[in-house]
Amino acid sequence: MDAAIAAYGCHERRVRKLPAHVVDYLLIALCLYPDDDYEEVAEKLTSMLASMPGARWEAPTRGAITQARQRLGPEAVREVFRQMARPAATESTSDMPATAWTPAYDAERRVRPGAWVAELTGLLDLTGWPKGMRVIVRKERPHPGARLRLTDLDGHRIAYFVTDAQHGQPADLELRHRRRARAEDRIRCAKDTDLANLHDFAQNQIWLEIVALACELLAWMQMLALRGTAARRYEPKTPAPAAVRRGRTAGTRRRRLRLRIAARWPWAHDILTALTRLQALPAPP
């Protein structure tokens, strides 16, 4: 990374809060967290610095990150990406014949238009990797307005995964892998429920228990009380819950908390239905 920055003359002339190599790391992190904005990714990337003795680090603003990316330019980033991809990829990886791609399936095992899968195992140098490992790649035309990532190619959204399954066609293995997306959803919800805010070892044990409890309550509440509603798929960072907080008020009366919900509020029916279902559940033994 330092060699690529030096080769293209991207070294800063004065001490900056975002030097060129930090911006490079930030761009790599943006690829790992495509659904988060600049400030959220920067916070995840530098959150552990605050626990270091004498550290005085504050996450940069979105404007500062934008200016730092403009100073760095695309050439150094392209060189870093090329060097990172070289150990696994070969010259023939980008020249796969059209016959190697087969249509991908949707959840009902029907052909999904605009999506294809292929196996890259024979095109990669997997020396040092576990024997029997297979590499499956999926490419798909993104929906209108989607933001492409650094790893996307030729206007297609590219996704890879590895498996040790010795039998099965790439399309079947890719469908099986994608059906486990609910597990990835729960991991994302756990991170949004402050799983990423970890401290020292003893505190982490307690914090992880709290996060796990919050995730369990969220999952079971949605399954038992919100079935058949759009809120069944809400996540902690879904915009709708913010509207939920604006559409109700809470007050106390006779030392009891009372929740007031506006009758014309769009989510009133879902909330009342959920409360009714929760109250109807039998008491635990």
> Among residues 179, 203, 236, which one ends one of the domains?
179
Q: Which residues of the chain have pLDDT under 70?
A: 1, 11-17, 35, 46-59, 83-96, 148-153, 197-201, 238-255
Q: Let me know if residue 131 belongs to a domain.
A: yes
The tens digit of pLDDT for each residue in 78-100 reads 777 776 654 444 444 555 677 78
Q: Let me know if residue 253 belongs to a domain.
A: yes
Other C-beta atoms lying within 10 Å of the C-beta of residue 62: 11
Q: Let me know if residue 210 belongs to a domain.
A: yes
Distance (Å, whole) CA 201 – CA 15: 34
Q: Are residues 101 and 117 in the same domain?
A: yes
pTM of the predicted model over 0.75? no
Tokens linked to 254: 């006779």
Q: Which of 253, 219, 119 is nearest to 173 (CA)?
A: 119
Q: Are residues 188 and 222 in the same domain?
A: yes
Q: Are residues 275 and 189 in the same domain?
A: yes
The tens digit of pLDDT for each residue in 105-146 reads 887 888 888 889 999 888 888 888 888 899 998 888 887 777
Q: Judge whether 241 and 250 are in contact, CB under 8 Å.
A: no
| CB within 8 Å of 212: residues ≥ 6 apart | 190
Distance (Å, whole) CA 61 – CA 43: 10
How many CA atoms within 13 Å lie on the side-chain side of 158?
16
Q: What is the model's pLDDT at position 79? A: 78
Q: Judge whether 235 and 192 are in contact, CB under 8 Å.
A: yes
Q: Are residues 189 and 261 in the same domain?
A: yes
Q: Let me know if residue 215 belongs to a domain.
A: yes
Distance (Å, whole) CA 176 – CA 173: 5
Q: Judge whether 39 and 29 are in contact, CB under 8 Å.
A: no
What is the end-to-end Cα distance of the chain in Å, rounded?
60
Q: Let me know if residue 249 belongs to a domain.
A: yes
Q: Are residues 97 and 51 in the same domain?
A: no
The tens digit of pLDDT for each residue in 65-74 reads 788 778 777 8
Q: Are residues 171 and 205 in the same domain?
A: no
Q: Let me know if residue 117 belongs to a domain.
A: yes
Cα–Cα distances (Å) from 208 to 51, 184, 196, in that order, read 18, 17, 10
Q: Are residues 276 and 188 in the same domain?
A: yes
Torsion angle of C-alpha atoms 258, 264, 270, 275, degrees rounded to 10: 20
Q: What is the model's pLDDT at position 89? A: 45
Other C-beta atoms lying within 10 Å of the C-beta of residue 211: 20
Which 3-state string (H, E, C) describes 139-185?
EECCCCCCCCCCCCECCEEEEEEEECCCCCCHHHHHHHHHCCHHHHH
How many CA atoms within 13 Å lie on the side-chain side of 112?
19
Label residues 130-141 b or e (16+ Cβ within 10 Å = b): eeeebbbbbbbe
Q: Are residues 145 and 169 in the same domain?
A: yes
Q: Let me know if residue 37 belongs to a domain.
A: yes
Which amino acid is it at 37? D
Q: What is the model's pLDDT at position 88? A: 44
Which amino acid is it at 216? E
Q: Let me know if residue 285 belongs to a domain.
A: no
Q: What is the model's pLDDT at position 86? A: 47
Q: Are residues 40 and 10 in the same domain?
A: yes
Q: Judge whether 285 and 271 are in contact, CB under 8 Å.
A: no
Cα–Cα distances (Å) from 140 to 4, 144, 151, 155, 157, in that order, read 31, 12, 13, 9, 5
Q: What is the model's pLDDT at position 192? A: 81
Q: Judge whether 181 and 172 are in contact, CB under 8 Å.
A: no
> Among residues 85, 101, 123, which one ends one of the domains?
85
Q: What is the model's pLDDT at position 92? A: 47
> Among residues 144, 159, 179, which one ends one of the domains?
179
Q: What is the model's pLDDT at position 117? A: 92
Domain count, the chain: 3
Q: Are residues 271 and 226 in the same domain?
A: yes
Q: Determine which helix (DSSP H) or strand (DSSP E) holds 64, and give its type and residue range.
A: helix 62-72
Q: Residue 25's domain spans which residues?
A: 2-85
Q: Are residues 80 and 123 in the same domain?
A: no
Q: Are residues 21 and 100 in the same domain?
A: no
